[in-house]
Structure 1
Amino acid sequence: MEKNKIKCLIVDDEPLAAEVLEQYISQLDSLWLAGKCSNAIEALSYLQKQKIDLLLLDIQMPRLTGIDFLKTLQRRPKVIITTAFRDYAVEGFDLNVLDYLVKPIPFERFLVAINKYHAAHAAEEVPLPPMIAPAINGISQDTFIYLKAGKKMVKVFLKDILYIESLKDYVKVKTTEKDIVTYQRITYLEEKLPDESFLRIHRSYIIALNKIRSFNAAFIEIGDQELPIGRQYKADVMKALGFHE
């Protein structure tokens, strides 16, 4: 094993399908096969002991499906779904998987998925600059982040952000001046933005607390948009806003 290689875990109950993926991995110098599991329970045990960069995950498996398995993971590696079924694509992308490959998987299509991993990883390696002025109410007037948009790194001042919306593999950052679409996971930005100034209200939305115009138990109004409060986030959102039904 080389330290700089992408550590992959195959989770598939079909030996032939797992063997194809293993062969594909062996052909790419950037990848290293850390292990193979024949079901999600075995994979869960593996992930509790080992750190993995990329999960190649089947869906239809005994005892626990790949989709249900993903829902159990608090912190998950990047995921590429590999399946014979097309029906779960929307649900898979709702869980922020990198790609959805339908068997039989051509090597060229596998390469496309791996390139998505490299693109996502490169975006995450761009650090958020530290505050360069004392913060007032959590956000300095000069605090900014860089977001990759196309071939450029765009400076975005935190004070200008209205909300952030997840668009599968991308996020849209809505500011007072413009929209910026960047190849990034919303969970990454959630971890980097200051908790006292930004709040996750839905699996698809993060809002700037100081930009709230009004709210109720179902929606938050930001600018001219009403953004829904997700069921699983409702209790934390109401607590953060000091609201009791």
Structure 2
Amino acid sequence: MSLSCFIIDDKPLAIEVIESHVSKIDGLEVKATFQNAVKAFQALRESQVDILFLDIQMPRLTGIEFLRMMKNPPKVIITTAYREYALEGFELDVVDYLLKPISFNRFLKAVDKVFELHSITEHSTKTADENNSKHFVFVPVDKKNVKICLNEIIYVESKRDYVLIKTLNKEVVTHQTLTYMEERLPNPSFLRVHRSFIINTRMIESWSNNEIELPGIQIPIGRTYKREALKVLNN
């Protein structure tokens, strides 16, 4: 497996450190580097990569603002000198949060997470058609795979490093990302309406332009997902 990456940091020395770390990892290559997030955002419209190494404190557009603008970003590893953005970063579904100065061992651990996620995604993609024709999926929980009936799922919620799957009769917590679940659940029955929520459209009791009511919960429609969500709901 070979993965490509963008490095986004306003400090040339920080870019050099990450480039050096990347050069030591087989199967990972730097596709481009950027000293501001605006140029990186424009480049991502024309070129796809697997990983973003993203600084937070940058002029014009911060790393957090950059992430909020992206609907379906690549896997993101935050690289920053500031601890205080960690919670917000994980709420935006980043893979890892690295504090500068970044040692190679810590860097390698973060990159290994991405390789593992891509391996899982490739396997999921190969079986996607099969899963879509079934009425259930299996998700890893602890050391076993748990069967989830699709027509019983109410919603799926991101819980930082975990995902909560709420069904009509149980709750299942799996050590996966919301993006992983989004790739496994069939369209159009399941719709991502917020950075933290995927809903089962068959479970909708009512909806407005700002929120969706499901059994036992009201879920907000995120600004980034509103256009696509309302398009599906109106159809």
TM-score interval for Structure 1 and Structure 2 normalised by the shorter chain: 0.7 to 0.9
- Structure 2: gaps (5+ residues): none
Which residue does the alignment assign to 1:190?
A: 182
Q: Deviations over 1:148-170 (max 9, x none)?
A: 22343333221222221111233
Contact 1:120-1:183 at 8 Å conserved across structures: no
Aligned with 2:83 (options 75, 83, 86):
86
The sequence identity of aligned pairs, in percent, is: 44
Aligned with 2:171 (options 156, 172, 179):
179
Say if 1:234 and 1:38 are closer, same or farther in 2 by CA, change over 3 A. Answer: closer
Aligned with 1:17 (options 5, 9, 14):
14
Which residue does the alignment assign to 2:96?
A: 99
Measure how far apart 1:115 and its partner are: 2.1
User: Which deviates the most, 165-174 or 187-196?
Assistant: 187-196
Which residue does the alignment assign to 1:117?
A: 114
Amino acid at match of 1:173: I
Measure how far apart 1:193 and its partner are: 3.0
Which of the pair has the greater relative contact order for Cα pairs under 8 Å at 6+ separation? 2
User: If the length of structure 2 is used for normalisation, what is the TM-score?
Assistant: 0.82
Is 1:227 the counterpart of 2:218? The answer is yes
Aligned with 2:71 (options 74, 77, 80):
74
Which residue does the alignment assign to 1:159?
A: 151
Q: Measure the CA separation in 1 of the matches of 2:23 and 2:141.
A: 33
User: Which deviates the most, 184-193 or 26-35?
Assistant: 184-193
Provide the secondary structure at the position in 1 that maps to 2:52. strand
Is 1:47 the counterpart of 2:44? The answer is yes
User: Whose helix proportion is higher, 1 or 2?
Assistant: 2
Provide the secondary structure at the position in 2 that maps to 1:49. coil
Q: Measure the CA separation in 2 of the matches of 1:240 and 1:77.
A: 24
Larger radius of gyration: 1
Contact 2:132-2:186 at 8 Å conserved across structures: no
User: Which deviates the most, 232-241 or 85-94?
Assistant: 232-241
Q: Measure the CA separation in 1 of the matches of 2:132 and 2:14.
A: 49
Say if 1:240 and 1:147 are closer, same or farther in 2 by CA, change over 3 A. Answer: same
Aligned with 1:205 (options 179, 183, 197):
197
Say if 1:169 and 1:124 are closer, same or farther in 2 by CA, change over 3 A. Answer: farther
Q: Deviations over 1:30-81 (max 9, x none)?
A: 3212221111122123323322111101111122111112222233111101
- Structure 1: gaps (5+ residues): 133-141
Contact 2:131-2:184 at 8 Å conserved across structures: no
User: If the length of structure 1 is used for normalisation, what is the TM-score?
Assistant: 0.79
Provide the secondary structure at the position in 2 that maps to 1:13. coil
Provide the secondary structure at the position in 1 that maps to 2:39. helix
User: Which deviates the most, 232-241 or 63-72?
Assistant: 232-241
Which residue does the alignment assign to 1:8?
A: 5
Amino acid at match of 1:9: F
